[in-house]
A = this chain, B = another copy of it.
Amino acid sequence: MARRNGPRFPGLSMSKSDKEQNHAVNGLEPRLSRASVGRFSLYLRRLQRFLREGVPTVSSGMLGEALGITDAQVRKDLAYLGNLGQPGIGYPTQELIDALRGRLGINRDWTAVVVGVGNLSRALLRYRGFEKQGFRFVALFDVDPEKVGQQVEGIDIYALESMPEIVRNTGAELGVVAVPAEAAQAVADALVAAGIRGILNFAPTALRLPAGTSLIAVDLAVQLEQLAFLVHLNQGPIDHTSPTH
């Protein structure tokens, strides 16, 4: 996953100097690590499932067990949310969910647009889980004039030219880039120019964005390569009798 070294994430990294100031007065609490944030979404989804299953309180052990994370790690992470846990009992599921949603910034709705109408976009749009988390796709864009004017999953497809207008009208903040690598940078630039605040990039290329625009990159080919590498390691030089669990 591409990582830009330019922009720091405000509120994420903290210097030693903050160390003394343990108790945050409001908003920004102790130190929120990037790694913890990476797990928050996982906690959230699992907790919602626990809730559906009628589990009123969860322990760090249960959560960790379900996600393949140590209990200590879970407690450290959840401590960032304030003192929600009750010794001897655990964490109230619903309260934890609310706190996580607040911390992740998804206790509100987000509107997003998608550029590039292909199979990947269709897969994304068809996954109804987004709506439950407050994400709403409001417009699609494609270069192909044939596609413009049509709909996918009930969402209109527009020409790239109308991007500034549509983004302004819908107030969309997030943009998904699902176009070939060659077109990706231009599309990203257009999204930024149109006022988009964050980009989820599926094109197999590194994007350059101005500071102030957030970026998450998902490179499917890279994932497969890494899997091959892991398998390569697992069966190569290791000739031990691995205790299968």
Contact = CB atoms under 8 A, between A and B. Distances in A.
- Interface size band for A: 35 or more
Interface in A114-141: 118-120, 122-124, 126-127, 129-130, 133, 135
Contact of A25 (B5, B25, B237): B237
A56 interface: no
A150 interface: no
Interface in A1-48: 1-17, 24-27, 35, 37-42, 44-46
Contacts of A2: 42, 65, 67-68, 70
Given A211-B239, A223-B216, A227-B214, A6 B68 contact: yes
Given A2-B67, A221-B133, A222-B41, A198 B242 contact: no
Given A6-B39, A40-B229, A67-B206, 11 more contacts: A2-B68, A2-B70, A4-B70, A41-B225, A42-B222, A45-B204, A66-B206, A104-B232, A105-B231, A110-B228, A198-B230
Tallying the copies of this chain within the complex gives 2
Contacts of A75: none
A88 interface: no
A211 B240 contact: yes
A55 interface: no
B5 A211 contact: no
A2 B4 CA distance: 26
27 contacts: A3-B69, A6-B67, A6-B242, A7-B42, A7-B242, A9-B38, A9-B39, A10-B223, A10-B237, A10-B239, A14-B230, A16-B242, A17-B242, A17-B243, A42-B219, A42-B222, A45-B204, A68-B208, A105-B233, A106-B228, A135-B224, A174-B228, A200-B223, A208-B245, A212-B234, A212-B238, A212-B242
A4 B68 contact: yes
Interface in A178-207: 197-200, 204, 206
B104 A229 contact: yes
A245 B135 contact: no
Nearest to A205: B45
Contacts of A174: 224, 227-228, 231
A87 interface: no
